[in-house]
Structure 1
C-alpha cells in the first residue's frame, strides 16, 4: 500500500501525461475523475487489474487489454462502433512523456504492486519475439499462422460484418449515396476495367479472400480466374460460392500460398489486400514472382493499404497483437519503386483513402446491426476488438494517417511495348 504522503490518484496520473485534458469523462475505481462532467462519452477504469494492464503496457496495448477483459468500461458509444471515441482521441489527445523523476513519482504514488503484468487476454497473439517457433518472419509457415489468426475467425461472423459481397477490402463508392454492395461491385469492376479483362483471358488473383474478384471476373467478363488464399475457411466458402453461382467452368479458388502457384503466362494479375502481409523486405521477391507469372503485355493491379510517407516503422501493438500479426505498411512510393525494379512499367496510381473510411463505416454499421449474433458467434471480447479496430481504422483514413493505393503496372514485351492505349479506357 502507498502512504497518503505519496499517493497519486489515477485521474491525476492520467492528466499528467495528457496536459491538454481529456475530451470525455474519465472515472476510476479509486474515486478520482477528470474530463468534462457533461460528456456523452464516459470511460471508467474499474479495477486494479485494469490499472496494471495500463501501467505495464503503456500506449494502446495496455488500454486494449483492459478493455477486452472488461476492466476498462466505455459508455456513450456502442461497442460495435466506438468511432466517436476514436475520433476524439485522434483529434484531441496530446500525449506528454513524463521525465524520469516525474514518472517515478507517479508509479510510486500509484503503487509498485501494479507493475506486475496480468496475463494478456486469450484473444491476443504472441509478441513477435515469441513467434519464431512458427518460423522466420514471412516464412510460409508463419504467414499461414498469421492469416489463420485474422481470417479464420468465423465465416458467419464475416458475413454479418462484410455483407453479402463477403469482400474485406476497400470499396469504391461511385457516388456518395451508394450502398456498400454497390461500392464493392464498383471496386471489382474498376479493377477489371483497369486490367482490361476480356472473355477468354486468364486472371490470377493472389490473396483472393472469399473469391469476390475471381467470381466477378468470371461472371461479368467471361475470364478464366484462379484465386489463392492462405485461409482454409476462405477457400471453403469461396468454392461453395463458385458452385452456387454455377461458375465452376471459369473460376477456381485454392487453399495455397501464392508463391506455390505453378501456372504461368496469365493475362492479368490482381492483388487486392495482400501486400500488407508480404513484408517490405520481401517486395522484390513478391513483385518478381508476379512479373514472372505474367505474359508479355500483361497487367498487374496492386491494391493495398499504405502510409502517407515512405518511412518504414512497425504497426502499433494493438494491430500487431490482435488484428494483423506481422503486418507491415509503407508508402506508395516504395511500392512503385519495387514494382519498377522488378521490371514492371507503372502506368497509373490513385489514392482511395476516403473510400476506405466509408467502407469501414459501413462495416461498423453491419456489426452494430448484428451485434447480438456476432457476440453469440465469436464472444463479447472478440466482437469488441472488431468494433474498436474498424472504428479506429476509419478515423485513421479520415485523418490521413493511412491511405489506400491502387497501382496499375504492365509487363512490357521484348520490344518494350506495354500494349497500353494512349489514354486510359476504364473511366472513373
Structure 2
C-alpha cells in the first residue's frame, strides 16, 4: 500500500512544517495550524513532481490546481515567506526512501499542461534565435515590457520608473525615492548644463527627462521596447524638452554617436548576457570622451561563482527570459579589463526590497484594473514576481549594485575631484 499525499508530505518535510497540505484524496499533512495549501487534483502533485521548487508550485497555483487559503493575489509576500522558511526537506530514513519511491511509482510524473503565461508564441520564436542576438533580445524585452503602458502606470506610479529606487529616509514615498535615485545617478555622473548624456536601456525615459529638466543636459535614451519608446517620446514632448531630449526605439548596439560626457545604464546589464559584458563595456567606453563617466546600475548575485547562469525556474520562464546575473566583482573586473577606471561602488539591496514592496502595494491598490488590462494570469504572475523579488533582496539572495567608472585619459586624468560628493544636497 502506498503513502497518501499527506503522509508523503510528512515524510519529506515533517509534520511540524508550518504549512498544512490538504489533498484531493482526503489526506492531510504538516501542521494543523499552518498555512493551508489545497491540492485540488492529481495535476497539482504532477506539477510539483515535474518541476520541484518555485516553478512547479507557481504552475499549479496559476492553473488553479493549488489553492492557498487567505492568499493576497496581488501581494503574496507573507505566503512566500512562510513557504520559503518552512518547506525545507528533511534527511529521509532508509524506510522513508523506500516508501517515497513507491509513492512516486504510483503517482508517475508526466509532462504537464502549462499555464498560457509561460508559453506565448514569442517565447517559442525566441528559442529558435541566437541567445542574446538582436532579434531574440528584442523578443525577450517585448515579452516583459510590452504588457501595456497603462498596466505599468498602475504598478509603477507617476514616475514610470521600473528600477530600484533610493530611499533617503524611512518615511520617503516611492516617488520621492525614484527622484532621489535619479539625482544620485546625476551627481555620480557629474552632470552639468551643456553636457551630453546617453542612457542605454532607458525604459520610459525617466532618467533622460530628469537629467534634461534638472541638470540642463542634452540626452539620448535607447530602449528595445516600442511601447516604452512611444510613451517616453510623448512625455518628452509634453514636457516641452523635445529640442534636448530623445528616446529612440532600438538596440543600444546601433547607437553610432560618440563623444558623450556621461552614460547611464540603469537596469540593462541583466538582459545582455554575462558573456557579452566585455563587448558591452567596450562599446560604452568607445562612446565616451576622455574623462567621461559611466554609471552601471544592475541586479547582481551575492557571489561571483555562478557567472552566466540564467535565473532558474519561475523568473526565467515567466518574467525575464534569457536574463543572466553575476556578482558585482565580475562586473568591476570586466569594466577594468575593458579600460575603465572604477571610482565608486555601492550596494542598494535593501532599497530594492522597499521598491518591490511599494510596487506590490500599487498592484494591490489597482488590482481590478490591472486584471482587466493584463488578465488574471499575468496579474498573478506579477504578484508572485514582486513579492518573491522583495524576499530575495531582503534575504541577500540578490543584490543591486551601482558601479561608477571613468574613461581616464592616457595621461591619467580621470575628471574626478579629490573628494567628490555624490549624495544629493538634501541627503
Smaller-chain TM-score range?
A: over 0.9
Please give the alpha-carbon distance, in whole angstroms, between the structure 2 residues aligned to 1:279 and 1:396: 21
Using structure 1 for the length normalisation, give the TM-score.
Answer: 0.94
Please give the alpha-carbon distance, in whole angstroms, between the structure 2 residues aligned to 1:201 and 1:360: 33
Please give the alpha-carbon distance, in whole angstroms, between the structure 2 residues aligned to 1:34 and 1:241: 54
Please show how residues 143-182 of structure 1 align to structure 2 within 5 Å: 143-182=137-176
Q: Give the Å deviation of 1:118.
A: 2.1
The equivalent residue for 1:233 is 227
Q: How much is the aligned-residue C-alpha RMSD, in angstroms? A: 2.2
Please give the alpha-carbon distance, in whole angstroms, between the structure 1 residues aligned to 2:144 and 2:28: 37
CA contact (8 A) 1:48 1:114 kept: no
Q: Give the Å deviation of 1:89.
A: 2.8
Deviations 1:305-344 (A, max 9, x none): 0111001143121111000011111110000000000100
Give secondary structure in 1 for the equivalent of 2:289. Answer: strand
The equivalent residue for 2:11 is 16
Please show how residues 103-182 of structure 1 align to structure 2 within 5 Å: 105-106=99-100, 108-109=102-103, 112=106, 114-125=108-119, 133-182=127-176
Please give the alpha-carbon distance, in whole angstroms, between the structure 1 residues aligned to 2:93 and 2:296: 45
Distance 1:416 1:407, change over 3 A: same
Q: Give the Å deviation of 1:259.
A: 0.5
1:25 is the counterpart of 2:20: yes
Per mean C-alpha deviation after superposition, the further-off stretch among 56-65 and 269-278 is 56-65
Using structure 2 for the length normalisation, give the TM-score.
Answer: 0.94
Distance 1:333 1:100, change over 3 A: farther
Please give the alpha-carbon distance, in whole angstroms, between the structure 2 residues aligned to 1:99 and 1:278: 45
Match of 2:237 among 233, 243, 247: 243
Give secondary structure in 2 for the equivalent of 1:123. Answer: helix
Please give the alpha-carbon distance, in whole angstroms, between the structure 2 residues aligned to 1:126 and 1:339: 36
The equivalent residue for 1:298 is 292
Q: Give the Å deviation of 1:9.
A: 1.5
**Structure 2: runs of 5 or more not aligned:** none
CA contact (8 A) 1:90 1:395 kept: no
The equivalent residue for 2:177 is 183
Please give the alpha-carbon distance, in whole angstroms, between the structure 2 residues aligned to 1:251 and 1:216: 10
Distance 1:59 1:97, change over 3 A: farther
Q: Give the Å deviation of 1:126.
A: 7.7
CA contact (8 A) 1:134 1:145 kept: no
Give secondary structure in 1 for the equivalent of 2:242. Answer: coil
Match of 1:347 among 343, 346, 352: 343
Distance 1:416 1:372, change over 3 A: same
Please give the alpha-carbon distance, in whole angstroms, between the structure 1 residues aligned to 2:245 and 2:10: 57
Match of 1:215 among 193, 209, 216: 209
CA contact (8 A) 2:74 2:379 kept: yes
Q: Give the Å deviation of 1:154.
A: 1.3
Deviations 1:355-406 (A, max 9, x none): 0010010001000000111111111111111101100110111101111000
1:329 is the counterpart of 2:306: no
Please show how residues 278-293 of structure 1 align to structure 2 within 5 Å: 278-293=272-287
Q: Give the Å deviation of 1:91.
A: 2.8
Give secondary structure in 1 for the equivalent of 2:60. Answer: helix
Please give the alpha-carbon distance, in whole angstroms, between the structure 2 residues aligned to 1:375 and 1:125: 19
Please give the alpha-carbon distance, in whole angstroms, between the structure 2 residues aligned to 1:253 and 1:188: 17
1:409 is the counterpart of 2:397: no
Per mean C-alpha deviation after superposition, the further-off stretch among 90-99 and 321-330 is 90-99
Per mean C-alpha deviation after superposition, the further-off stretch among 304-313 and 180-189 is 304-313
Give secondary structure in 2 for the equivalent of 1:168. Answer: coil
Distance 1:282 1:160, change over 3 A: same
Q: How many residues align?
A: 422
Per mean C-alpha deviation after superposition, the further-off stretch among 397-406 and 12-21 is 12-21
Q: Give the Å deviation of 1:414.
A: 2.3
The equivalent residue for 2:83 is 89
**Structure 1: runs of 5 or more not aligned:** none
Q: Give the Å deviation of 1:26.
A: 2.3
Match of 2:414 among 398, 407, 418: 418
Q: Give the Å deviation of 1:110.
A: 5.6
Please give the alpha-carbon distance, in whole angstroms, between the structure 1 residues aligned to 2:171 and 2:9: 41
Please show how residues 337-416 of structure 1 align to structure 2 within 5 Å: 337-416=333-412
Please give the alpha-carbon distance, in whole angstroms, between the structure 1 residues aligned to 2:94 and 2:131: 34
